[in-house]
């Protein structure tokens, strides 16, 4: 019976993480859409799908260097991996993976410093 409770808890936690809303930012002619995947204690990585779209410039972002995830206690997480489209072009889609912390934070903020933009773009989610 206890095993069923644990499994149900993991399923509920995964479902809750999967329900985090996508966020969009449109500035300087570039639209960025960030969609978090399951943010759970069971996850080895916290994954974020990032899609960029423009018709005015090449998308040369180096997400491994320009993206940081910050939790509610101020801990910073740097990308462990970036998978997807290579820099260039007008449409790009990548998955940025961060090593999961040992707890699910109450909130997360992703900051992304885009080339040529004065300040980083910020995307925030409340998890608890």
Q: Cα separation of 64 and 96, whole Å?
A: 8
Using alpha carbons only, how large is the chain's radius of gyration in Å? Answer: 16
CB count in 10 Å sphere of residue 52? 21
Q: What is the DSSP letter of 17?
A: H
Domain that holds residue 16: 2-126
Section 66-72 average pLDDT: 96
Whether 88 and 60 have beta carbons less than 8 Å apart is answered as: yes
Residue 27 is predicted with a pLDDT of 94
pLDDT of residue 7: 40
List the CATH number of the domain containing 92: 2.60.40
Reported as a single tens digit per residue, the pLDDT across 9-50 is: 444 444 444 479 999 999 999 999 999 997 888 899 999 999
8 or 119, higher pLDDT: 119
pLDDT of residue 12: 46
**Structurally, how many domains does the chain consist of?**
1
pLDDT of residue 106: 94
């Amino acid at each position: 019976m206890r095993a069923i409770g644990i499994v149900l808890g993991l399923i509920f936690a995964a479902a809750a993480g999967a329900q985090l809303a996508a966020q969009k930012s449109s500035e300087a002619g570039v639209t960025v859409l960030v969609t978090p995947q399951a943010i759970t204690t069971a996850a080895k990585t916290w994954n974020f799908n990032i899609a960029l779209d423009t018709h005015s410039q090449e998308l040369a972002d180096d997400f491994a260097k320009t993206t940081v995830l910050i939790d509610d206690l101020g801990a910073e997480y740097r990308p462990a991996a970036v998978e997807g489209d290579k820099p260039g072009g007008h449409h790009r889609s990548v998955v940025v993976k961060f090593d999961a912390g040992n707890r699910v934070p109450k909130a997360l903020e992703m900051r992304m410093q885009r080339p040529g933009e004065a300040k980083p773009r910020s995307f925030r989610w409340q998890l608890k």
